[in-house]
Amino acid sequence: MTEYYTEAFVLDKEDFKEHDGMIHLYTEELGKVSARARGLKKILSKSSAHLEPLNFVRVRLMQMKSGYFQIIDVLPHHEVSVTEKKKSQQHWGILFAMATFINKMTPELHPDQYLWNMIKKIAGVEVDEATMYQFLLKAFGFDPQYAVCNACQHSDVHYFLHDDHGFYCKGCASNIGSNAVLLR
Ligand SMILES: [Zn+2]
């Protein structure tokens, strides 16, 4: 068994078995990790509040011999924790969109220090949603600045579609469905 202690951003939370939770985290040390939190649904679980999506935490993880991860301990990360600062409703919406996008775009166990720094930066400032997507795409290695439309090769791209990792112009956007994110 191996133990890890790392900073993390909580992406998502699911119920797991009767009393447990499965927490999807983006961590500094390991990249995206899904980890089981035992007893999460018991009323007195103090971890439960810390492990709500969009929180920043310091977490101790144990990787079992079978490969799966378990959360041993969790503390709030005060320096970047957004729950303790007054954030606008819009900023919460942007953090939610960021968590959803990271969950879709990142493979498990591929740590990326640049992406981690970008996540903390976005959490700390009031950026609009389009800017957030541009920052993340740059971290994922897709720079909208030099992109052309996947359908017509036009250089004026306004959308990104995670299904095919393609950029699209305004004109072609109506053909690609509602999954695309708006970049500007
Ligand atoms: Zn086009």
**In angstroms, what is the span from residue 165 Cα to ligand 1's centroid?**
14
CB 60 within 8 A of CB 38: no
Q: Would the pLDDT of 176 be above 90?
A: no
Average pLDDT over residues 2-9: 97
CA 155 to centroid of ligand 1, rounded, Å: 8
Topology of the domain comprising 1-129: OB fold (Dihydrolipoamide Acetyltransferase, E2P) (2.40.50)
- What is the average pLDDT score of the chain? 91
Q: Please report, rounded to a whole number, the percentage of residues in the chain having pLDDT higher than 90.
A: 72
What are the structure tokens assigned to 158, written together?
A: 């306004």
97 neighbors 146 (Cβ within 8 angstroms)? no
Taking the centre of ligand 1 as the mean of its atom positions, its distance from the CA of residue 161, in whole angstroms, is 13
Tokens 């640049």 found at: 114
Q: What are the strands, taking DSSP E only, across the chain?
A: 2-16, 20-27, 31-37, 56-63, 69-76, 157-161, 166-169, 181-182
**Does residue 123 contact residue 82 with C-beta atoms inside 8 Å?**
yes
The pLDDT value recorded for residue 184 is 86
Statement: residue 95 has pLDDT above 80: yes
Confidence of residue 87 (pLDDT cuts 50, 70, 90): confident
Which sequence spans correspond to the domains of the chain?
1-129, 142-184
Pick from 118, 157, 45: nearest CA to 13: 45
Q: What is the distance in A from the centroid of ligand 1 to the CA of 167?
A: 9
Going from the Cα of 99 to the center of ligand 1, the distance in angstroms, rounded, reads: 28
Model pTM score: 0.91
For residue 107, pLDDT beyond 90: yes
Identify the DSSP state of 52.
Answer: S
Mean pLDDT along residues 93-114: 95
How many Å apart are CA 71 and CA 51, to the nearest integer?
Answer: 10
Confidence bin at 83 (pLDDT 50/70/90): low
